[in-house]
Structure 1
Amino acid sequence: MANVMDVHSEITRSRKLERSRSVSKGLGRVESSPYRQVYVPKLSDAEWMHTLGFLPGRVGARARNGGDARNFLDSVLWVAQTRALWSDLPQEFGPPHRMYVRFIRWSVDGTWFFVLSSFSPRDERHVRLFELVEGYLSRKRR
């Protein structure tokens, strides 16, 4: 199985090439994303049960359609590990904008730090998720 970073590098190169071709043809944004082909393992049942203990209160209580917290967490981990754009999120996770807005809420209210504490600091998912959350918060502070 290919390393996620190797796949990321290859996708970045192919994406730049596709963009340069489409822009030269006047097509603008490339709709098909090679990131949709990347496999990122989801949380196992045991990992989910462990992480669930670190989540505060009622998960998804804010929104009427708060949805499945496990699916949401898997979608954020997918974005964090692939370093893809939210718009490249596979359809199986749901609407990218909805996932992004919920990610922002959890970033602002500190929920991600509870989630991060459920992972080992040496776990790649912990590192990538921390980078994603800190990246958002540092841009927000500017």
Structure 2
Amino acid sequence: MIDVLYYMYYLFYSKKITVNFPHLNTLGTLCYIFMFWEVSIVEFVSTFFFLYHVPVGIHNMILLLGNVLIIWIYGIKKRGKYVVKKKKPLIRGSFRLSAIFAILLFIMSFVIPIIMIEVTKDMKEYVEPMYRVLFGK
């Protein structure tokens, strides 16, 4: 699925906007999108299972590792160029379905953190009694 996103964002930057470095812009967009998802998932899991809010420094380390991983795979290992030139992945062979998926994921990347802030804020009061019963703290 990440290959599909890479391909769709690459086509967007190379055909619609026509920037000088579409691979670099595509890598930046993927890192930016996954930044929101990483933070949201880590915060949700840590709050739900451990009643713990992760400090900003740990979030930054997780983001750095995730971004380095994406840049290493798609930039340094040249998987991005392979995806664009040879693979050209689409969801079920449909360009329209792939484009809708890429647009929806981009939009959801901005909505999910806002939802997660509200969910984790209220989650503590509901999860804490259950946490005490299970772990006796």
TM normalised by structure 2 equals 0.28
TM-score, normalised relative to structure 1: 0.27
Larger radius of gyration: 2
Greater helix fraction, Structure 1 or Structure 2: 2
